[in-house]
Amino acid sequence: MKSHTLLMPLDMHLHLRDGVMLETVAPLSSYSFSGAVIMPNLVPPVTSKEELVAYKERILNATGNRVNHEDELDFEMMDMDYFEPMMTLFYQHYPREFLEDVRDEIFAIKLYPAGITTNSEGGVSSFDLDMMRPTLEAMAALEIPLLIHGETEGFVMDREAEFMPIYGMLAKHFPNLKIVMEHITTKSAVEMLDKYPNLYATITLHHLLITLDDVAGGMLRPHLFCKPIAKRPEDREALLSAALDAHPKVMFGSDSAPHPKDKKEACGCAAGVFTAPIALQVLCELFDRHGKLENLQAFVSDNAQNIYGLCPEFKEVTLVERPFTVPSHYGTVVPMFAGETIGWSIEEVM
């Protein structure tokens, strides 16, 4: 039986929500990942030091809970210290004094264009350099990375490509600011990586697997609907190439985004694919199928450690090529591949 071991896996883009949903999904990530970058788009969004500290405490409490729902994996209770929530603030035009005060509590600041995705109504409505400069210059000086959901309000298939000039403008005007293009979905975004030294990117599991045809080419599949929406085959191939070849500026970020089943299978379907419980297993299967299993460690951990200078808590995850049937649901959330059998399983976590 083929096996593969990953050291200190990191999820560099994760949604944990809050309340009952947080308690359901957080242990699924803390079980197999050493840490994750936590998104701040709650309702209301996380914009203050007090809110951020309180949210982190709720996450730590949730990751100490046992998962025990019908038809779900029953993970053993894990020590909180084995999972580090790397906290982010929702971007606003913060003064330097505030950023200095909160610096030790945050990992990064996440920028959303206004209304472009889930709970982003309070995001940026104009990329006016004069308005943004004080905050971005302070972030650069304090070494606070800027994470961006890069889409315009244009035609849905073109929104990310249309955002590329904004990435270029920001990278050029703030060369000392670490900028991460979040959950990229296009060939044009992959090409941007080699144009500016301070630009990096995260790539999701689902965008390595699906195109728009998988979402809406036949019967509509709401549990594959996400933002940014899946794109064309040539875009998926560009993402695959960057991930499989362990491009040093690319990191795994699941963008695992849980929504209750009744919000997904509904008019006005919520955007988000829930992959947290099966991410490492499916990545093993994908990289192995392409003969690139030796590069998975870089994609899920080493690149992020190098880019950010991280030293995560030790965690060793051993996976084996053994079939695993994905549960139909975790609480109220339906995962990717629900009810289907995938080729790899988690054998042991140390």
Domain residue spans in the chain?
A: 3-349
As given in the structure block, the two tokens for residue 336 are 């990717």
Percent of the chain with pLDDT over 70: 95
* Residue 82 confidence (pLDDT): 83
For domain 3-349, the question of CATH label 3.20.20.140 is answered with: yes
d(CA 60, CA 78) in angstroms, rounded, equals 11
| Model confidence at 109: pLDDT above 50 | yes
Question: Taking phi first (over 0 means left), then psi (-120 to 50 degrees means alpha), and beta for anything else, what does residue 278 get?
Answer: alpha
- 64 and 78 Cβ atoms separated by less than 8 Å: yes
Segment 262-273 mean pLDDT: 97
Residue 82 has φ and ψ, to the nearest 5°, of: -85, 0
Could you tell me the pLDDT band of residue 95, with boundaries at 50, 70 and 90? very high
Name beta bridge partners: 203: 252
Give the C-alpha separation, 206 to 185, whole Å.
Answer: 10
Q: In terms of Cα–Cα distance, which of 279, 277, 261 is closest to 222?
A: 261
Instruction: Please tell me whether the overall predicted TM-score, pTM, comes out greater than 0.85 for this model.
Output: yes
Which of 11, 235, 255, 302 is catalytic? The answer is 255
Tell me the pLDDT band of 64, cut-offs 50, 70 and 90.
Answer: confident
71 pLDDT higher than 70: no
Please state, rounded to an integer, the average pLDDT across all residues of the chain. 94
| Other Cβ atoms within 10 Å of 101 Cβ, number | 12
Q: Residue 100 has which token pair?
A: 């200095």
* Spatial CA neighbour of 295 closest among 313, 283, 306, 307: 283
Nearest to 72 by CA among 284, 256, 274: 274
Backbone angles phi, psi at 108, to 5 degrees: -165, 175
What is the number of other CB atoms lying within 10 angstroms of the CB of residue 149? Answer: 26
Mean pLDDT of 36-48: 97
DSSP helix/strand/coil, 180? strand
The 10s digit of each residue's pLDDT in 152-179 is 999 999 999 999 999 999 999 999 999 9
> Is pLDDT of 80 > 70?
no
Contacts of 122 (CB under 8 A, 6+ apart): 44, 45, 90, 92, 114
Which of 113-127, 159-173, 283-297 has the lowest average pLDDT?
Answer: 113-127
- Rounded Cα–Cα distance for residues 92 and 341 (Å): 43
Is residue 256 scored above 60 in pLDDT?
A: yes
Q: Is the pLDDT of residue 229 over 90?
A: yes
Give the Å distances, CA to CA, from 51 to 61, 231, 257, 292, 335. Answer: 15, 35, 21, 41, 29
- In the residue annotation, 79 being an active-site residue is answered as no
